[in-house]
C-alpha cells in the first residue's frame, strides 16, 4: 500500500494526540449518527467512540499512525473492562496510584501490536494515558509556564467559576482579555510555535 504524502515528511512513530480536542457534542449534533454508518478520523479514539455512544450503527476509524491506533485499542479495552471512575483514573482525569494495575486489567482485550506499544511506556501509563501526546505536552507547557505570565492562579480559578452567560462574557472582556494575555496567546498559538512544539510544521503546508 502506498504511503500518504505527509508520511514521508513527518514522524508518525509517537503519540501526537492522546486525546481528541474537538467537542464531540458538536460533532454528533452535526452528523446525527443514530442508526448511521460513520467514517471517523481515528486520532485518540474519543470522537469515534462518542459517535458509537450516540447510536451510530457502525463507525470506521481511519488512522495512519500506529501509535494513535494503539491509543484507540487501549481505550476500547478500557471501555470493555473498567467502570467510569476507573477509566477516568487511567486517562489521568482523576488522581490515582492504580493506573498500572488498571492497565494490566485491560491487557487481555488488546491486540499484540498495541500491547507491545503500551508495555514499552510504563511512565506514560503511570502519569495517565491522556497526557502522553505531543499536543498534550504543548498544552501543559502553556498551563504551567506561559499562562502564569499573564494571569495569577487566583484569576484562573475565577475564570472557571460558574456564572451566567452575560457575566462570563463580562469577566472575559473586562478582566481576562488584557494586552499581555492577547500577546502571549497570539505568540504561543501561532503557526510557528504550534508547528514546532505542538504539532508538526508539515501539517500546515496546505492550511
**pLDDT at residue 7 in the model:** 74
Dist CA 38 CA 50 (whole Å): 11
Evaluate if residue 1 carries a pLDDT over 60. Answer: no
C-alpha cell, 164: 451566567
Q: What percent of the chain has pLDDT over 90?
A: 89
Q: What is the pLDDT of residues 7-33, one digit of tens each?
A: 777 778 899 999 999 999 999 999 999
Q: What is the pLDDT of residues 160-196, one digit of tens each?
A: 999 999 999 999 999 999 999 999 999 999 999 999 9
**pLDDT at residue 3 in the model:** 66
Q: What is the pLDDT of residues 68-104, one digit of tens each?
A: 999 999 999 999 999 999 999 999 999 999 999 999 9
- Which residue, 12, 42, 15, is CA-closest to 124? 15
Dist CA 124 CA 179 (whole Å): 37
Q: Which residues of 79-97 are buried (b: 16+ CB within 10 A; e: fewer)?
A: bebbeeebbbbbbbeeebe
Label residue 45 left, alpha or beta by phi (over 0 means left) and psi (-120 to 50 means alpha): left
- Which residue, 17, 22, 28, is CA-closest to 50? 28
Question: Confidence class of residue 2 from pLDDT cuts 50, 70 and 90?
Answer: low
Amino acid at each position: 500500500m502506498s504511503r500518504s504524502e505527509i508520511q514521508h515528511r513527518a514522524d508518525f512513530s509517537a503519540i501526537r494526540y492522546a486525546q481528541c480536542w474537538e467537542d464531540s457534542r458538536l460533532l454528533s449534533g452535526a452528523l446525527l449518527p443514530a442508526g448511521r454508518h460513520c467514517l471517523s478520523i481515528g486520532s485518540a479514539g474519543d470522537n469515534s467512540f462518542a459517535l458509537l455512544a450516540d447510536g451510530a450503527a457502525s463507525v470506521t476509524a481511519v488512522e495512519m499512525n500506529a501509535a494513535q491506533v494503539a491509543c484507540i485499542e487501549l481505550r476500547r479495552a478500557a471501555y470493555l473492562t473498567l467502570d467510569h471512575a476507573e477509566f477516568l483514573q487511567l486517562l489521568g482525569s482523576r488522581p490515582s496510584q492504580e493506573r498500572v494495575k488498571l492497565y494490566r486489567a485491560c491487557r487481555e482485550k488488546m491486540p499484540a501490536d498495541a500491547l507491545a506499544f503500551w508495555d514499552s511506556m510504563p511512565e506514560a501509563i503511570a502519569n495517565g494515558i491522556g497526557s502522553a501526546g505531543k499536543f498534550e505536552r504543548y498544552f501543559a507547557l502553556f498551563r504551567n509556564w506561559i499562562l502564569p505570565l499573564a494571569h495569577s492562579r487566583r484569576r484562573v480559578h475565577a475564570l472557571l467559576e460558574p456564572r451566567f452567560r452575560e457575566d462570563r462574557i463580562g469577566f472575559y472582556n473586562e478582566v481576562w482579555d488584557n494586552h499581555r494575555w492577547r500577546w502571549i496567546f497570539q505568540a504561543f498559538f501561532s503557526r510557528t510555535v504550534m508547528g514546532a512544539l505542538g504539532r508538526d510544521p508539515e501539517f500546515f503546508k496546505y492550511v
